[in-house]
Chains A and B, each alone.
Chain A
Amino acid sequence: MTAAADPGKNALSQSLHWIAVCAAEDIEVEDVRRFDHAGATYALYRTPTGYYASAGYCTHEQAHLADGLVLGEIIECPRHQGRFHIPSGKAGSAPVCLDLKTYPVRLDRGMVYIGLDAG
């Protein structure tokens, strides 16, 4: 998702912790940046259609996707060029087989927030 205008809009949103990642303009269109939080690593993307977030490691061999290349709505892993569809996390071309976990994102007052499970 690109931006939920109201974080308290629904039950799903209320069950999430919204963590500020960066200012919206800190990330260029067709780019990705790494975000580490509570011992886990995430990737925050800005595509031509909006902001998205996913697990930070490629499901193939644990490379940081933030070192990869964003092509439209595709993130390409820096190590073996496996591809994922950013909005859905769906694994595309070999050598990736497993889908990527995605996370909701919202924009609020110029900041980008990632929604992580409250538990």
Chain B
Amino acid sequence: MLIDERPGSYRLAGAAVEATQLTSAAIDATIEGRWHLCAIDRGTLKRLMKRSDAPGLRNFGLWLALLIASGTAGALAWGSWWALPAFFVYGTLYCSSDARWHDCAHGTPFRSRWLNEGFYHLASFMALREAYLWRWSHSRHHTHTMIPGRDPEIQVPRPANLPRIALDFLHLIDGPSELRKIALHALGIVTADARDLVPMRDRGKMIWSSRAYLAVIGAVAAWSWAIGSLLPMMYVLLPRFYGAWHHQLCSLTQHAGLAENVRDHRLNTRTVEMSAVHRFLYLNMNYHLEHHMFPMVPFHALAKLHEAIKDQLPRSCTGFIDAYREIIPVLIRQARDPGYFLCRELPPGSAGA
């Protein structure tokens, strides 16, 4: 555990007057050479990067089938207590979309572009992450991972806001925030962060995409109102909230409590071993360090990538309990001591950032 220098601000550079000094063109110009990369044979990496439709179709196909099955069970059980477990499963599966838009944004689950793009837009809508804004946001996240003022996706800005983290297990903070952005963009009002992230050529698409999201949500809400039942909303929009727990449980492990302002994913990103069910829902993003270092590797090859470079990485957490045993105390401390963070121990002989 270390105390570091406090960052200037988490607001994005284009929108902030007090943005951190780490926003200069010089950093952008040298960013490529400054991120640590583990050594891996080009031939091995090329094999791991190989694209195929089959693994993606199996995973996404099963996901859609389970969504339909649990959704049907929920409809049949509506009005009885059996609807609760059915919609618990449906909501959890629905929020697996938060892992799926992400992978499709990288273009890696499928070799066929139309499959990546089709699922990208579907999953982006389900996850309430407007597709054009979040594609650019996530690109920035990979360039400036955990660099305050540049990374728009730092999940736990310091000082850690513990109630906010807890409320996001039901998406009660980020959900309304995303809905607000979608509503503003649908009205043609481009938010400051979006101006910083999205180039002019994509702003019109972002606005029309936001309008489409609102149109679908509005239509389902109108249907619910017309029939005097919440049931239609249980399939669209609401599951993003009542089913959010699993993705929050997984995604909080990615960077929480780790270092900021270091250009070494081994120090600011965490890999956690998870069971097959969790990995299915989370699309193997438990290998998050490996994903950040080599984002070209598709979800189905991340375990092999982990095996290939694990000798050069800090130890992985052995599961959720192990991960949260290190995350929770750090976050509690960060709530009152924003300079505090967990310093990962690098393997002997491995250069630091």
Interfacial residues, chain A to chain B (CB-CB below 8 A): 31, 60-64, 68-69, 71, 76, 78-81, 83, 93-95, 97
B296: chain A residues at CB < 8 Å are 68-69, 76, 78, 81
Task: Sample 24 A-B pairs with CB under 8 A, ordered by A number.
Answer: A60-B139, A61-B32, A62-B29, A62-B32, A63-B32, A64-B32, A68-B296, A69-B46, A69-B49, A76-B296, A78-B294, A78-B295, A78-B296, A79-B32, A79-B143, A79-B295, A80-B142, A80-B295, A81-B107, A81-B295, A94-B132, A94-B136, A95-B135, A97-B201
> What is the chain B residue whose CB lies nearest that of A94?
B135
B51: chain A residues at CB < 8 Å are 69, 71
B111/A80 in contact, CB under 8 A: no
Majority secondary structure of chain B interface residues (helix, strand, loop or mixed):
helix
On whether A81 and B28 interact (CB within 8 A), knowing A68-B296, A95-B139, the answer reads no
B139/A94 in contact, CB under 8 A: yes
How far is the CB of B302 from the nearest CB of chain A, in Å?
A: 15
Distance in angstroms between the alpha carbons of A31 and B135 in the assembled complex = 26
Contact of B31 with A by CB under 8 A: yes
How far is the CB of B6 from the nearest CB of chain A, in Å?
A: 27
Chain B contacts with A in 5-62, Cβ cutoff 8 A = 28-29, 31-32, 46, 49, 51
How far is the CB of B318 from the nearest CB of chain A, in Å?
A: 30
A80/B139 in contact, CB under 8 A: yes
Interface size on B, residues (CB 8 A): 24
B143/A61 in contact, CB under 8 A: yes
> What is the chain B residue whose CB lies nearest that of A62?
B32
Contact of B118 with A by CB under 8 A: no
Distance in angstroms between the alpha carbons of A61 and B132 in the assembled complex = 19
B139: chain A residues at CB < 8 Å are 60, 80, 94-95
A31: chain B residues at CB < 8 Å are 46
> What is the chain A residue whose CB lies nearest that of B37?
A67
Distance in angstroms between the alpha carbons of A97 and B198 in the assembled complex = 11
Distance in angstroms between the alpha carbons of A39 and B266 in the assembled complex = 31
A61: chain B residues at CB < 8 Å are 28, 31-32, 143
Contact of B352 with A by CB under 8 A: no
B143: chain A residues at CB < 8 Å are 61, 79-80
Distance in angstroms between the alpha carbons of A28 and B102 in the assembled complex = 31
Which of A31, A63, A71, A81 has the most chain B CB atoms closer than 10 A to its own CB?
A81
How far is the CB of B188 from the nearest CB of chain A, in Å?
A: 21
How far is the CB of B255 from the nearest CB of chain A, in Å?
A: 18
